Amino acid sequence: MEQASLQFIGILHGDIKSRADAPKNYSESDRTGILEIYPQFRDGLDGIKPGQTIVVLFWLHQSSRDILKVYPRGDKSRGLHGVFATRSPVRPNPIAISELKVEAIHGNKLEVSGLDILDSTPILDIKKKISSR
């Protein structure tokens, strides 16, 4: 099977310490935290401004990777769905995508709001949010 190698660009510092305490998604969260970007990637932040919404990809390091069917939001009344039809954190490659508001920037640290992600989760990438058509 083909494989890829990734490098984490940083780490999240936040106050969400357990899945039970985590909002189900960023669209229903006002939780704040800090994206610490490692110094070797600092230049990649140039152009990001406070007030902007960014798209952040996380590696959900505590997720199961061997589950392909889930009950969305744990709701059995909805029946089993394939993970690729959901935003479940469990999936073969546990990548999360969250749209976060940049509240402030301090060097290589971005203060953000809208978190649905656990403290100490590795960061894979940051992208500009595409403007809607």
Ligand X SMILES: C[S@@+](CC[C@H](N)C(=O)[O-])C[C@H]1O[C@@H](n2cnc3c(N)ncnc32)[C@H](O)[C@@H]1O
**At closest approach, how far in Å is the CB of 46 from ligand X?**
25
Task: Kindly tell me which residue out of 17, 61, 65, 129 binds ligand X, with binding defined by CB under 6 A.
Answer: 61
Q: What angle do CA 38, 42, 45 make, to 5 degrees?
A: 125
8 Å CB contact between 115 and 98: yes
Q: Which of 100, 118, 123, 126 binds ligand X (CB under 6 A)?
A: 118
11-50: contacts with ligand X (CB under 6 A): 19, 22, 24-26
Q: Is 121 in the site for ligand X (CB under 6 A)?
A: yes
Least Å from the CB of residue 75 to ligand X:
13
∠ at Cα 8 (7, 12), nearest 5°? 175
* Interatomic CA distance for residues 50 and 13, integer angstroms: 18
- Does position 87 bind ligand X by CB under 6 A? yes
Q: How far apart are CA 68 and CA 110, in angstroms?
A: 34
Selected from 45, 96, 102, 112, the binder of ligand X by CB under 6 A is 96
Residue 63 as a binder of ligand X (CB under 6 A): the answer is yes
Asked if residue 123 lies in contact with residue 56, where contact means CB atoms within 8 angstroms, the answer is yes
Residues that bind ligand X (CB under 6 A): 19, 22, 24-26, 60-63, 87-89, 96-98, 116-118, 121
